[in-house]
Amino acid sequence: MSSTPFMETLMARTKNVFEEIKLRDTLSLASIAGALPMHMVRDALQATSKMSERIRTLSREFVIYLTIFLCIFREKSTGVVLEHLFEGLDALFEHKHVLRASEAAISKARAAMGEKPMRHLFRNYCKPICREDDEYAFYNGLRKCSIDASEFYLPCTEDILKSFPSSENDAKNPQNCAKIKFGATVEVGSHVIFDVEYGTVNNSEQDFADVLIGRLGAGNLLLGDRYYTSVLNILRVKEQESEVLFRAAANLRLAPKKHLYDGTYLAKIKAGRRPESHASKFKENGQKYSSVVVRVIQFLIKDEKGEVVDSGRLITTLLDPAKYHASDLIRIYTERWEEESVFDELKSHLMRGAQDSLRSKTAELAKQEFWAMLIAHYAIRRIMYEASELAGEMPNRISFVGVKETIQRKTTSKPFSPSAN
């Protein structure tokens, strides 16, 4: 074969649709009622030795729910959130005096609890939720997942700067704010974040990928941008008994080794010798991670008028063109953008676009709030998944902000009643 034809596709983002009446009706049935059961909260406290010895004005179970609710009701005062939370949970917390808790008392209770219970709760609560019969969430039996990185700004207090140094030469924020950087793995079908690793401005996306890929598990199709195309990343995904579909960097050498009948071809990627190639971290397995064979799919990017605006290449470990059609993989790769919309849900809708900033003034509480924000997002997304099943819609056809606002309106009518079991 003398040349390899491009696979043409229109890589366009789709808008979410909020079924106003249908979703409002079903939300009360599939809502927060079972989203975060009490037994998981108590397990997290028990596992981190933070279980309350007795019922206090602000028990630690209540503090966990309150911290999560403060993320959902970010625009409300602490007192208003406290009242909403009590009314929604009065079956579990019968002590009216919690309504008189001051912000200072709440901060003290949060500080006494620390980060660990919230982190443990995220790790054990936030899991992929799509079932194998959710065809939109799988491809040939592989769960579609995406890996990417983002960041939140933090208040530049003295305590926070000790753990999260400020970034220099930040074009987006010339004030040089402190940041918490993180990598995340998202289930594409449901938009839930099910694994996260955080760090500082000194950490790279590859630092997060090293950890996240090691926890990926089997049966996944991992979508990723050009930053993740190292030999090490690809082979470690394969070691997890999963597959990759990444966009190749423009400068990545992909010389054809074997042309396939569908216009795709096989190529061998060799590990680089530079420090950032990860070879230094895996010296004992240098030969093992020296090269990998991938399938290369070339494509054109067209605008809404059908005019070509760019081109690119995808690489995948799905080598059989008869089983894994190139046109399918091109279409699936566009779903990687779903992770960007997840980050937008966190920043624009939960955090209200407040300079992408968490509110806590100490490092420990900022970490706690970080996990609480992720749990809040997961709980809403879980509700959306359950509501979409009742409404006969795909979860990504439902507006995140629409559901969040409906949850807020229904809070005082007890939508948040976790099981006491």
270-298 pLDDT tens trace: 887 654 445 455 555 556 778 899 999 99
For residues 280 and 335, membership in a common domain is answered with yes
Give CA 240 to chain center in angstroms: 19
Question: Do 242 and 148 reside in the same domain of the chain?
Answer: yes
Q: Does residue 185 lie within any of the structural domains?
A: yes
* Chain centroid, CA 35 distance in Å: 17
**Looking at residue 26, what is its pLDDT?**
36
Residue at 177 is within a domain:
yes
Cβ(7)–Cβ(332) below 8 Å: no
Residue 420 lies inside a defined structural domain of this protein: no
Q: Which residues of the chain have pLDDT under 50?
A: 1-30, 32-33, 55, 174, 275-277, 279, 411-421
In this structure, the answer to whether residues 187 and 262 fall within a common structural domain is yes
Whether 41 and 190 share a structural domain? no
pLDDT at 347: 84
- Summarised one tens digit per residue, pLDDT across range 159-194 is 999 999 887 655 555 456 789 999 999 999 999 999
Q: Can you give the residue range of the structural domain that contains 141?
A: 126-342
pLDDT attached to residue 345: 84
Amino acid at 400: F
In a domain? residue 421: no
- In this structure, the answer to whether residues 155 and 90 fall within a common structural domain is no
Name the domain boundary from 290, 308, 342.
342
Residue 14 lies in a domain: no
Are 160 and 73 found together in one domain? no
Task: Give first-to-last CA distance, the chain, whole Å.
Answer: 64
Quick check: is 10 in a domain?
A: no
The Cα–Cα gap between 33 and 41 comes to: 15
Judging by beta carbons within 10 Å of its beta carbon (0-12, 13-18, 19+), is residue 133 exposed, middle or buried?
Answer: exposed
Residues 106 and 175 in one domain: no
**Amino acid 250: pLDDT:** 87
Pick from 319, 342, 365: which residue ends a domain?
342
Residues 96 and 154 in one domain: no
Residue 139 counted as domain residue: yes
Q: What pTM does this model have? A: 0.83
Residue 93 domain flag: yes
Query: Are 224 and 266 within one domain?
Result: yes
pLDDT for 294: 97
Q: Which pLDDT value is given to residue 79?
A: 75
Same domain for 319 and 301: yes
Residues 149 and 201 in one domain: yes
Domain final residue, candidates 342, 369, 393: 342
Q: For the chain, how many structural domains are there in total? A: 2
228 touches 294 (CB < 8 A): no
Q: Do 93 and 200 fall within a single domain?
A: no
Compute the residue count for the chain. 421
